[in-house]
Structure 1
Amino acid sequence: MSSSTPNKVPSSPPASPFKLALCQTPVTLDKEENIAVARDYLMRAAAAGASLAVLPECFNCPYDTACFREYAEELPAVGFKPTEDHSSPSLKMLRQTAQETKMFIVGGSVPEIANDGNIYNSSLSVSPDGTVVAKHRKAHLFDIDVPGGIRFKESDVLSPGGSATAFFAPEIDCTVGVGICYDVRFPELAMLQARELGAKVLVFPGAFNMTTGPAHWELLLRGRALDNQVFVAACSPSRSEGGDGYTAWGHSMVVDPWGTVLASADEKPALVVTTIDLGRLDTVRKSIPTSQQRREDIYRLQSVP
């Protein structure tokens, strides 16, 4: 059900507000440069006081099926310790930066090559001591064909993940759910994260495009926040104009449990920092107590073992 099982969340006292940062970085063909730029944005996030920072989907490579296998890295399992060595340059940057800044980092996503040769679109989350606390493999692959808009088929190269993912961050007293881009379109996944795994913040590294972005990006983020009365944060790469490849929508965004957009970027490279007050969840849930009004005699959410 979950690729990382959250620890038991303390019930009191109320959690203190914390700062969340979205790093809307540019992505080029140069993998080494992409990783260096991501680190620079993470350091800026730390300087702005962030306790939780998020990178975009495919922060180390272009979002292109032709690039995924070439840029793919082996990634470790949950629980991988900072004292253990690993070949992944993206992981090395993430855990070094987490240790230096004492932030939790949701490392966007990178192409992962598994032992069986399958390629996944995977996100590693790293704690302030450099431990891998969550690993999410994109569960819903982006296979679409919009007439006059965009055609894309991730399944030509990628395999789907098979679990809902969340981790508990004790320093901010918050369980964080992680999905990747197209995952946000499936409310059942967010419901599992919020209701069964206890997530109070849902994070979606995502690279919507110039067709689906203006139509659905904000709508979906606000919808998932309202469905579950949680915070939703989505981090996109910035837009690269003039190329023949995939063009990201940008507009990284944080939404509160009422559905209000707290902070957002435009299409350019940006660092979005906002304060998350988890007390807002209680206020909203008491005002509109949907969690107490569900009709489980009519419908029921059930995870697959």
Structure 2
Amino acid sequence: MRIAAVQMVSSTSFEHNLQRAEALVREAAAAGAKLVALPENFAFMGRADTDKFEIAEAPGAGPAQRLMAGLAAELSVWLIAGSLPLRTGDPTRLTNSCLVYGPDGAPVARYDKIHLFRYDEPGEGAPRRYDEGAVLVAGDAPQSFLADDGERQWRVGLSICYDLRFPELYRALMHPPCELIAVPSAFTYTTGRAHWELLLRARAVENQCYVIAPAQGGLHDNSRRTWGHTMIVDPWGEVLAQQPEQEGVVTAVLDPARLDEVRRRLPCLEHRRLR
């Protein structure tokens, strides 16, 4: 199955971001992708964390969710819609949620980001602080889904950005083992330059699975700079495709023979002792 990871440089304009997401998903489908993944915060990158409330949608409703469901159905693709802020019962808190739509447009999975990012970025003057916990409530459960390509089913595990630093989440997604893990992200330039590729390849190697990591990549109109380097990695840790910066689409093919060979030659998933 050919898969595609979309890189964006999302802005403070919700409508513009949806237009760009649609165009890039269409580009990915035209390239033959049967599964397409968008980055974290694909629909909006605000100037402050509280700006998310302006465009947050109720679960199952709203223009971003309608667009994603419609695109998946029209293009007959599995669509991993990066992440969107969704309303909760608490008017002061949102979730950062990855929504997945099947080729018929029906919702098939929802994952709420478990690990909330907090970081003081160095720089001249006062450091820039990121604190997702100021407006977000954390999820509490790993989620996966089965994507059928007509020949076989692929179990796909879901995660978001900062989750990448917590290997126990990915171990939990190995019961039963996933063949593909999605990591839609918006890594900062500083942390991405230091750790992005290292962590993605480590998650692929230790779990012997493919990793698809669509990212935000460039200078945003809110003055934030994200690392980009959208990537697809194979179960041996080899980078199959990469988009360094700016908008773009990268694709690769999930090869069941490659997956089976890696797991057969080095059966470390069978050798686990701690659960």
Work out whether the TM-score is over 0.5: yes
The aligned counterpart of 1:69 is 53
- Within the candidate set 22, 29, 33, 1:39 is matched to 22
1:170-191: CA deviations, max 9, x gaps?
Answer: 2351011110000111001111
The aligned counterpart of 1:8 is none
**Which stretches in structure 2 are left out of the alignment for 5+ residues?**
none
Distance 1:101 1:216, change over 3 A: same
Distance 1:187 1:107, change over 3 A: same
Are 1:255 and 2:233 matched, yes or no? yes
The aligned counterpart of 1:6 is none
Cα distance in 2, alignment partners of residues 43 and 103 from structure 1: 10
The aligned counterpart of 1:141 is 116
Name the amino acid aligned to 1:95: A
Name the amino acid aligned to 2:72: A
Cα distance in 2, alignment partners of residues 245 and 153 from structure 1: 17
Equivalent residue of 1:264, what SS? strand
Are 1:96 and 2:70 matched, yes or no? yes
**Which stretches in structure 1 are left out of the alignment for 5+ residues?**
1-17, 77-86
Are 1:119 and 2:94 matched, yes or no? yes
The aligned counterpart of 1:28 is 11
Name the amino acid aligned to 1:226: V
Cα distance in 2, alignment partners of residues 197 and 66 from structure 1: 38
Equivalent residue of 1:183, what SS? helix
Verify the 8 A CA contact 2:11 2:222 in the aligned structure 1: no
Q: Identity of paired residues, percent?
A: 38
Aligned length: 268
User: How many Å apart are 1:116 and its aligned residue?
Assistant: 3.1
| Within-5 A mapping of 1:202-241 | 202-240=181-219
User: How many Å apart are 1:278 and its aligned residue?
Assistant: 2.3
Equivalent residue of 2:141, what SS? coil
Equivalent residue of 2:82, what SS? coil
Equivalent residue of 1:206, what SS? coil
The aligned counterpart of 1:168 is 146
Cα distance in 1, alignment partners of residues 265 and 65 from structure 2: 42
Equivalent residue of 2:183, what SS? strand
The aligned counterpart of 2:167 is 187
Cα distance in 2, alignment partners of residues 168 and 198 from structure 1: 12
Verify the 8 A CA contact 1:166 1:197 in the aligned structure 2: no
The aligned counterpart of 1:199 is 178
User: How many Å apart are 1:292 and its aligned residue?
Assistant: 2.6
Q: 49-58 or 65-74: which moved more?
A: 65-74
User: How many Å apart are 1:205 and its aligned residue?
Assistant: 0.4
1:220-241: CA deviations, max 9, x gaps?
Answer: 0000001100001111123125
Name the amino acid aligned to 1:268: Q
User: How many Å apart are 1:26 and its aligned residue?
Assistant: 2.5
Equivalent residue of 2:269, what SS? helix
Equivalent residue of 1:238, what SS? coil
1:62-81: CA deviations, max 9, x gaps?
Answer: 054132212211123xxxxx
Verify the 8 A CA contact 1:98 1:130 in the aligned structure 2: yes
Name the amino acid aligned to 1:59: F
Equivalent residue of 2:34, what SS? strand
Q: 252-261 or 30-39: which moved more?
A: 30-39
The aligned counterpart of 2:271 is 293
Equivalent residue of 2:227, what SS? coil
Q: 137-146 or 98-107: which moved more?
A: 137-146
| Within-5 A mapping of 1:150-161 | 151-161=129-139
TM-score (norm 1): 0.84
1:222-280: CA deviations, max 9, x gaps?
Answer: 00001100001111123125x55321111100110100000000111111111111221
Equivalent residue of 1:293, what SS? coil
User: How many Å apart are 1:199 and its aligned residue?
Assistant: 1.2
Verify the 8 A CA contact 2:187 2:216 in the aligned structure 1: no
